Amino acid sequence: MSKRVKQLVSALSARITEQDREFIARNLDSAQAALFWQMNLPDQRHALNVAYTAFELSAGDCTVDQELLIQCALLHDVGKVQGDVSTADKIITVILDKCAPGWARRWARLGRGSKVANLRHAVYIYYNHAVRGAAMLQAIGAPQPVIEIVMRHHEASAAGEPPELRLLRAADSLH
Ligand SMILES: [Fe+2]
Ligand SMILES: [Fe+2]
């Protein structure tokens, strides 16, 4: 199964436990937590899994700020807001990205409305949620390193980037 198909399957069985809630309350301030809870349940589950994996991957690496890493992992996909994109449009978007990624990128457009507008919006969020999430974090006064890492989480790795960004990408690719 491809990673995207696996994501769709695991999304259907997503649950948040009491321990997860405590983990979020411990690691995010109230404004950040509000953005976390604004995502839909499968995206919340994904962010938690990425955070736990990123934390495991960082074990023994003293160059990593684990608090920053966990915050970034929990918040990396907050640009995907609940109710903004339907499951059907998400599935079509994944297919469009597989078949015609260049065209899909150009066709993407922000703003919901008609059925077609909603699909174009879904495609837009798929490609642009990192920048959108960073803007949302900026608006609540999140720390600059969190904003920068969230903004860059789908960019190709670059020399001199923070170790937390590298670990976030590695953990994200495993979920
Ligand atoms: Fe993402
Ligand atoms: Fe992600």
pLDDT digits (tens, 9 = 90+) for 131-160: 999 999 999 999 999 999 999 999 999 999
Provide the sign of the torsion angle of the four alpha carbons 72, 52, 97, 80, taken in this order: negative
Ligand 2 centre from 113 Cα, in Å?
26
Ligand 2 is an ion; residues with CB less than 5 A from it: 77, 172
Angle between helices 115-139 and 87-99 (to 10 degrees): 90
**Contact in structure between 145 and 162 (CB atoms under 8 Å):** yes
pLDDT confidence bin for 6, thresholds 50/70/90: confident
Share of the chain above pLDDT 90, in %: 88
Report angle CA 132, 134, 139 to the nearest 5 degrees. Answer: 95
Q: Is residue 49's pLDDT more than 90? A: yes
Ligand 1 centre from 139 Cα, in Å?
19
Which domains are seen in the chain, by residue range?
Answer: 3-80+128-173 (1.10.3210.10)
Q: Is residue 57's pLDDT more than 90? A: yes
What pTM value is reported for the model?
Answer: 0.89
Provide the sign of the torsion angle of the four alpha carbons 71, 22, 80, 157, taken in this order: positive
Name every residue whose Cβ is closer than 8 Å to that of residue 79 and which is 6 or more positions away in sequence.
Answer: 125, 128, 129, 130, 131, 132, 133, 134, 135, 136
Ligand 1 centre from 153 Cα, in Å?
7
The per-residue pLDDT for 1 is 62
Q: And the tokens for 160? A: 């001199």
pLDDT digits (tens, 9 = 90+) for 65-118: 999 999 999 999 999 998 889 989 999 999 999 999 999 999 999 999 999 999
